[in-house]
Amino acid sequence: MPKAYLSIEALGVSFGASSEVLRDIHLQVEAGDYVSIIGHSGCGKSTLLNVVAGLVPATTGGVILDGESADAPGPERAVVFQNHALLPWLSVYENVRLAVDKVFGGKKSRAERHAWTLHNLALVQMTHAKDKRPSEISGGMKQRVGIARALAMEPKVLLLDEPFGALDALTRAHLQDSVMEIHASLGNTVLMITHDVDEAVLLSDRIVMMTNGPAATIGQIETVTLDRPRRRLDLAADPEYLRARGSVLEFLYARHAAVAVAA
């Protein structure tokens, strides 16, 4: 059987002999999929994402991306963190251009790199602020720049670690809509960490639900069959939206409560 585009195989992570964070993680992600990972604090969501990014080594098992082992950081896996991590002394344009020059310095001409930087700023609607410093723009705008910088690397998979978690509700909604539009336009592969059930159902093709740590693993995977494009106002009373949302809530809260009582 052919491998999936992104394959996480028998993955386990331990920090020392007595701290097992993840155990026996198996996940197959096809090209173009939008997959969210959700679970309670301490279940190893970010650790799993960091292993895929090559930032944390697997103790057992591994990650295969497009037929190759992904055990070290590389531009084919771009990460957007909750903290935008922009360089404050550079402009919006320069923050994105830095990534473009790093990845395409020997592949594109100076003019092509300039055009590619502007193209990715346009994708996130930030061209108008290209000469501003991070201190001169809002939190939501900073995250847009972080997303532009990641997309400008042309990654095989875009890794989002709670990218909207620090934003107010209205800004978060606008960015969610933007990410949906970008995903529809590019058809890129996305793996996202979130705490937000509604966000997961709105954005995802599948929702991966983690059991509680330590030694967390995948407890259930929920497939979301909502047609795309999706509009949040249309989904409020949609039966499939409500079914998927209810399934995730039942897993996170009914089963979490049972685990807490048993403990």
Confidence at residue 239, expressed as pLDDT on a 0 to 100 scale:
94
Confidence at residue 167, expressed as pLDDT on a 0 to 100 scale:
85
Q: Which helix (H) or strand (E) holds 77?
A: strand 77-80
Domains of the chain: 1-71+159-263 (3.40.50.300), 77-154 (no CATH)
What is the Cα–Cα distance from 139 to 144, expressed in whole angstroms?
A: 9
Contact criterion met (CB below 8 Å) for 77 and 160: no
Strands 60-65 and 6-14: antiparallel
What is the Cα–Cα distance from 13 to 15, expressed in whole angstroms?
A: 7
| Range 67-73, long-range pairs (CB < 8 A, 24+ positions) | 67/3
Mean pLDDT of the chain, nearest integer: 91
Tens of pLDDT, residues 149-184: 999 999 999 999 998 887 888 989 999 999 999 999
What is the Cα–Cα distance from 231 to 234, expressed in whole angstroms?
A: 5
- The structure's pTM equals 0.92
What is the Cα–Cα distance from 245 to 240, expressed in whole angstroms?
A: 8
Residue spans of the chain under pLDDT 50: 257-263
Confidence at residue 163, expressed as pLDDT on a 0 to 100 scale:
87
What is the Cα–Cα distance from 166 to 2, expressed in whole angstroms?
A: 39
What is the Cα–Cα distance from 29 to 32, expressed in whole angstroms?
A: 8
Q: Which two tokens stand for residue 31?
A: 């090209």
